[in-house]
Amino acid sequence: MTGRVVDRLQRPLRDLRVSVTDRCNLRCTYCMPREVFDENHTYLPRSGLLSFEEIERLARIFISRGVQKIRLTGGEPLLRRGIEKLVERLANLSDLQGNPVEVALTTNAVLLAQKAHSLKSAGLSRLTVSLDSLSDVIFARMTDTDVPVKTVLQGITAAQQAGFVDTKVNMVVKRGVNDHEILPMAAHFRHSGIVLRYIEYMDVGSTNGWCMDDVVSAGDILKVIAEHFDIESAEPNFTGEVAQRWRYVDGGGEVGVIASVTQAFCEKCTRARLSTDGKLYTCLFAHEGLDLREPLRQGLSDPALNHLIASRWEAREDRYSQMRHDETIRNRPRIEMSYIGG
């Protein structure tokens, strides 16, 4: 069976996020707090990770059911040895219309200066870099490491030099921690060719101690920017785009906001997630995934795997962000972002 598949809310399967490692070289307090992800934490053994062959095989099946974009994430995807080889395999695939599949990657950019050229040569289409502050002090507090901001900025420059266009920088805004960095970040990335996107801090996983008071709403973020710069709203680039786009009137480029908490966009959510050990999750806030690794390793055929994937998507009715006000739903266990892939 091939062809598009839709879920119970009529949402097609269009994007696949693949977590290629559950390890990271930073310890962002909102994602992998060091108290939990310390030397006693058990990461997946190498044999537990999907191999590149396995990822490619599953990707082909997802593509046959409508996936057009694949994003590699983690953990920190640049820590996965030979990641360029995986990029190359995936970039050679075509979607149902015969167009090349778009392969993107989200990274903290600590290793990007070293890898930008090889990723570009391997066929990576686009990059998203996570950076929450330009101040070393705040960056160190948020990432719980002594990596200087300069390293990340050098990674971004290397990406531009390697020929990546449309690179985005994502900044998670946490009240009282980096909200005073909203403007300096806007000022830094204006006129740079980079689109800065502010992300509302989310209650992913169960280790970051999230509470609503820590969230700075997209509306408040935009107010801060609009007080200093003339901005006007811009049309989405494509149907289903989750970031709201704003353009600097003076031609300084664009900024975006992703209001995952205050203006949930579940009705547009077309993303499936494949965890590092090969489980399929149909929502970032899911607590259970469908194991694809074992059936795959036990020799299940492509049509049978295809059936498993399509049936799971057809049964999907996730819309956590629109239901988060319901305490019973909010109190359900959730999987960690570094494992499921942000």
Provide, rounded to whole angstroms, the least separation between the CB of residue 157 and ligand SF4: 19
Rule CB under 6 A: which residues touch ligand SAM? 24, 30-31, 73-74, 76, 106-108, 130, 170, 172, 199, 201-202, 204, 208, 337-338, 342
Please, which residue, 5 or 119, has the CB nearer to ligand SAM? Answer: 119
User: Which neighbouring-strand residues pair with 16?
Assistant: 70, 272
Instruction: State the DSSP H helix or E strand holding residue 273, giving kind and residue range, or none if neither.
Output: strand 271-274
| Residues contacting residue 10 through CB under 8 Å, at least 6 positions apart | none
Pair 71, 130: CB distance under 8 Å: no
- Strand order across the beta sheet in which 254-258 lies: 231-234, 244-248, 254-258, 195-200, 168-173, 126-130, 102-107, 69-73, 15-19, 271-274, 279-281, 290-291
Provide, rounded to whole angstroms, the least separation between the CB of residue 33 and ligand SAM: 11
Q: Which does 265 bind (CB under 5 to 8 A by kind): ligand SF4, ligand SAM, none?
A: ligand SF4
Pair 246, 229: CB distance under 8 Å: no
Region for residue 273 given its phi and psi (left: phi exceeds 0; alpha: psi -120 to 50; beta: otherwise): beta
**Per 3-state DSSP, what percentage of the chain is helix, strand, and coil (rounded to 5)?**
35, 20, 45
- Quick note: the x/- pattern for ligand SF4 over 28-57, rule CB under 6 A, is x--xx-------------------------
Exposure letters 173-189 (e unless 16+ CB within 10 A, then b): bbeebbbebbeebbebb
Query: Should residue 125 be labelled a site residue for ligand SF4 when binding is judged by CB under 6 A?
Result: no
Please, which residue, 30 or 52, has the CB nearer to ligand SAM? Answer: 30
Q: Where are the alpha helices (DSSP H) in 162-204?
A: 182-189
Provide, rounded to whole angstroms, the least separation between the CB of residue 315 and ligand SF4: 14
Provide, rounded to whole angstroms, the least separation between the CB of residue 296 and ligand SF4: 24
Q: Which does 21 bind (CB under 5 to 8 A by kind): ligand SAM, ligand SF4, none?
A: none
Which range of residues in 20-28, 57-65, 193-201, 221-229 is near ligand SF4 by CB under 6 A?
20-28
Total residues at interface with ligand SF4 (CB under 6 A): 22
Please, which residue, 28 or 101, has the CB nearer to ligand SAM? Answer: 28
CA 2/CA 307 separation, integer angstroms: 10
Please, which residue, 19 or 306, has the CB nearer to ligand SAM? Answer: 19
Please, which residue, 200 or 318, has the CB nearer to ligand SAM? Answer: 200
Tokens of 219: 């509306």
- Helices 112-122 and 149-161, packing angle to 10 deg: 30
Please, which residue, 313 or 320, has the CB nearer to ligand SF4? Answer: 320
Residue from 16, 24, 59, 149 touching ligand SF4 (CB under 6 A): that is 24
Instruction: State the DSSP H helix or E strand holding residue 89, giving kind and residue range, or none if neither.
Output: helix 83-91
Provide, rounded to whole angstroms, the least separation between the CB of residue 228 and ligand SF4: 28
Q: Which does 208 bind (CB under 5 to 8 A by kind): ligand SAM, ligand SF4, none?
A: ligand SAM
DSSP 272: E
- Quick note: the x/- pattern for ligand SF4 over 252-281, rule CB under 6 A, is -------------xx--x------------
Q: Which residues bind ligand SF4 (CB under 6 A)?
A: 24, 26-28, 31-32, 74-76, 108, 130, 265-266, 269, 283-285, 318-321, 338
